[in-house]
Amino acid sequence: MTNSIAATAPRTLVVERDLAHPPAKVWRALTQSALLADWLMSNDFAPSVGHKFNFRSKPMPQWNGVIDCEVLAIEPEKLVSYSWSALGLDTVVTFTLAPSAAGTHLRMEQSGFGSEEDNNYRGATYGWQRFVGNLEQLLARPD
């Protein structure tokens, strides 16, 4: 297979899952700060366009553990998008929900990785697989 993407083209990481839960339940997990903290990171998120917030993780020697974000778009039970800035990387994270036979089709994409950001792209690929797995575990808990 030939890769036709130019070396300078930004890349997008995509993780998709069919979840056996209604969109309303998935939406709450994506937009309620306490639930976000359960599967992603501690935060001061609010589902309001223009709201600036942070995700906070355990600091490491090369990183203070803070991700600066701003809500870019909200469509209840359909889409939430925010900027994601950390370690000199500026990307956009978007979650899209669609009803499916199983319950909800979730699509998470993080866009804006430059061609020189292979390590960040690989790290995000690992991280989002783990985070979405955490989300699935949270959703499996009784309400």
pLDDT-based confidence at residue 9 (cuts at 50, 70, 90): low
Find the mean pLDDT for residues 20-47. 97
Closest by CA to 20, choosing from 102, 134, 105, 139, is 102
pLDDT more than 70, % of the chain? 94
Q: Which structural domains are found in the chain, ordered by start?
A: 13-140 (3.30.530.20)
Per-residue pLDDT at 2 exceeds 50: no
* pLDDT tens profile 47-61: 999 999 999 998 888
Segment 124-141, tens digit of pLDDT: 999 999 999 999 999 999
Rounded to an integer, what distance in angstroms lies between the CA atom of residue 45 and that of residue 51? 8
Of 35, 47, 67, 21, the C-alpha closest to 134 is 35
Q: Residue 143 pLDDT > 90, yes or no?
A: no
> How many Å apart are CA 128 and CA 20, to the nearest integer?
19
pLDDT (tens digit per residue) in 87-107 = 888 999 999 999 999 999 999
pLDDT more than 90, % of the chain: 78
- pLDDT recorded at residue 63: 81
Q: What length is written for the chain?
A: 143
pLDDT at 7 over 80: no
Three-state SS letters, 76-142? CCCEEEEEEEECCEEEEEEEEEEECCCCEEEEEEEEEECCCCHHHHHHHHHHHHHHHHHHHHHHHCC
Rounded Cα gap, residues 21 and 27, in angstroms: 10
Contact yes or no for 111/127 (Cβ under 8 A)? no
pLDDT value of residue 4? 38
Give the confidence band of 10 by pLDDT, cuts at 50, 70, 90.
Answer: confident
Q: What is the mean pLDDT of the chain?
A: 91
Task: Write the burial class of residue 79 (CB in 10 Å: 0-12 exposed, 13-18 middle, 19+ buried).
Answer: middle
